[in-house]
Structure 1
Amino acid sequence: MEKVTTQTELKQVVKTILSQQTVKNLTFIGCGASMSELYAAYYYGQQNATEVGIHLLQANEFNYAKPAYFGENSVAIVASLGGTTKESVMAVQKAKQWGATVIALTYQEDSALTKEADYTLVHKFFESYAAKASKQKVALGFTVELLYALEKTPLYREMLAGLEAVDEIANTAAANTENEAVQFAENYKDVSTIHVLASGANYGVAYSTGMFLFMEMQWINGVVLDSGEFFHGPFELAVKNAPYLLFMSDGQTRHLDARALEFLQRFSTKYTVIDAKDYWLDSKIDKQVVDYFDPMVLTAVMRGFAEKLGELRKHPLSKRRYMWKLENY
């Protein structure tokens, strides 16, 4: 079984940090898929922190454009799956240089990312569909503990219960959507562009899907849209048979997704909906916090969809044109 930092261990890391410094802000830093996988924790922090600043930054932008707030009262979580992403390794070094407490979040606990970090958090990745969202879960678990320790954030116990339950829900959801995944692959195997919509905490899933599952892994143009922003320009492209993928929230922003869906139906687009409500999260997770767990379940389901798409297109998800093949870029 793959190793993962437990919630008890996350709580201890928070306790140790707070015994050594005053924390005024928490900054999530990453590149590519790792940055998108920090979004759920960032969104939770944005929605619940009243005094602590919560930020999400692209690693190389951070390296060359230091925010004024960042310094000795900062905690930085820098994520990289294998821990070798050079921009993220540099971000660890920069964050340390600028006085922050730095946490490396990675699958490889002895990687370059961890060498200068103060703490290392380890996530899973390969053992199951739920493990594809393990980075999200660990980042969220840390944020829950930090904000509760600093601000006594409401619904703490409900969040802990959700963290305990979400893996089983995600794996069950992925296991029961094979037919839908096959149909998705059949419908989209020949398209050159897919518009991806989501709202709230699920925007990170849309970003990851469009930018990485589609553009990086399938060489399909992935246009990532916020469901709320859809009606402020992008809806002009919603014409008959235009390809769309909509992630629907089970929480506070569901109305935004439902409004977008109605428009997609009205103009006969080629649309697929992956709806968090179909997976019964609220049967095991309190409705007041279900928003923050939707992304982990949708990530698991979408991975299965992407695998079927790759199979039907005879383009495996591991295929690359430039990544891992060019030395200088």
Structure 2
Amino acid sequence: MTTAQEQVNRILEAYKERTINRVFLVACGGSSALMHPSKYFIDREATTITAEVYNSNEFIYRNPSTLGSDSLVILCSHKGKTPETTEAAKFAKGKGALTVSLMYVETAPLADESDFIVNYSWAPPGQLDAHPEIANYAILYRLTMGLLAVKEGNKKYEKLVQSLDSLSTVLNKAKEQSLENAKAYAQAAKDEPVIYTMASGVNYGIAYSFAICILMEMQWKHSHAIHAGEFFHGPFEVLDKDVPFILLMGLDETRPMEERALKFLKEHGEKLLILDAKDYDMSGIDEEMKGYLAPLLLNFVLRVYAVELAAATGHPLETRRYMFKVPY
């Protein structure tokens, strides 16, 4: 079987053969949340290329006028079976775009509609992937940082590849550090009907994923992902000493917004879970990459909390009411 890195290398070679000035990051749900760190990277680093994140269905309905032969469309579906994402790939190819799709299976409908695929590694929530350096977030970074390396000579790709070699050690340490706190939090929060999550910048997608996939989909708790920059423009009115908030604090340029939110949360709230990337050992990660890789760390820590929360609530993460069970 072709390895994920070999698949990535083939795609990087394909980049060389095409003009690419726009990147469309297209998916649904947790796979859509996956896209936000790479958009942040392109926004920060690119000089000639722009990036946008789209829900798969809206991508088709909105029909961006800039989508064409100079576009790269990167899609993701965990099992490659999401109908909207498969249709989005077909739609993008019909517009002449280069289509690259991520999934953890080898064959799927999405693969049939894509120019290239990458099979990332995957482990259930809370478990450390045996190869986090080729898990979904890491693969997407390889594709987007690799694009800027090929097209603009950006040096971050080399630093990414080197840093990812240390990711397994970083995540193992983070799990050891987080486990007891996660157990305590789960006992404290298991009966809460609503939990809000908040972050900004490169970490916002992680907060969004935890809110909609873990709390809403897998735990049937009311939740909403709040951007830290938007917190003071309406959402802070729901805060009091009885309303739980999770705040993610990263290492990227938007951290001051999270720090501002933290100050207010501490002044007016009590049920707070603060997960700060600064508190974890990221030895082996290049200094210039720590901000970009903090979401991979925080996402894994959140999954440790998710497993403990599911154990405390007695509601397995695999239990669904509608998904895969009724027509929709």
> Is 1:164 aligned to residue 162 of structure 2?
no
Q: What's the secondary structure of 2:223's corresponding residue?
A: strand
Matched AA of 1:209 = F
1:5 is matched with which residue? 4
> Is 1:27 aligned to residue 28 of structure 2?
no
The answer to which of 108-117 and 207-216 deviates more is: 108-117
The counterpart of 2:92, out of the listed 91, 95, 98, is 95
Contact 1:171 1:300 in 2 (8 A): no
Deviation for aligned residue 1:158: 2.5
Gaps of 5+ in 1: none
1:114 is matched with which residue? 111
1:325 is matched with which residue? 325
1:276 is matched with which residue? 277
Distance in 1 separating the partners of 2:3 and 2:325: 30
The change in CA–CA distance for 1:4 and 1:235 in structure 2 (over 3 A counts) is: farther
Task: Please show how residues 210-289 of structure 1 align to structure 2 within 5 Å.
Answer: 210-281=211-282, 283-289=283-289
Task: Please show how residues 2-151 of structure 1 align to structure 2 within 5 Å.
Answer: 5-6=4-5, 9-19=7-17, 21-126=18-123, 128-130=127-129, 134-151=135-152
* Per-residue Cα deviation, 1:45-87 (whole angstroms, up to 9, x for no partner): 1111111121111001012221010011111111000000111
Kindly report the root-mean-square deviation, in angstroms, between the aligned alpha carbons of the 2 structures. 1.8
Alignment TM-score, normalising by the size of structure 2: 0.94
Contact 1:129 1:303 in 2 (8 A): no
Matched AA of 1:193 = V
The change in CA–CA distance for 1:9 and 1:84 in structure 2 (over 3 A counts) is: closer
Deviation for aligned residue 1:157: 3.1
Deviation for aligned residue 1:3: 8.2
Distance in 2 separating the partners of 1:110 and 1:64: 27
Contact 1:170 1:298 in 2 (8 A): no
Size of the alignment, in residue pairs?
A: 324
Contact 2:80 2:108 in 1 (8 A): yes
Alignment TM-score, normalising by the size of structure 1: 0.93
Deviation for aligned residue 1:4: 5.4
* Per-residue Cα deviation, 1:179-233 (whole angstroms, up to 9, x for no partner): 0110110121111111111111110100000011000000111111111221222
Distance in 1 separating the partners of 2:172 and 2:13: 32
Matched AA of 2:93 = K
Gaps of 5+ in 2: none
Deviation for aligned residue 1:9: 4.3
Matched AA of 2:246 = L
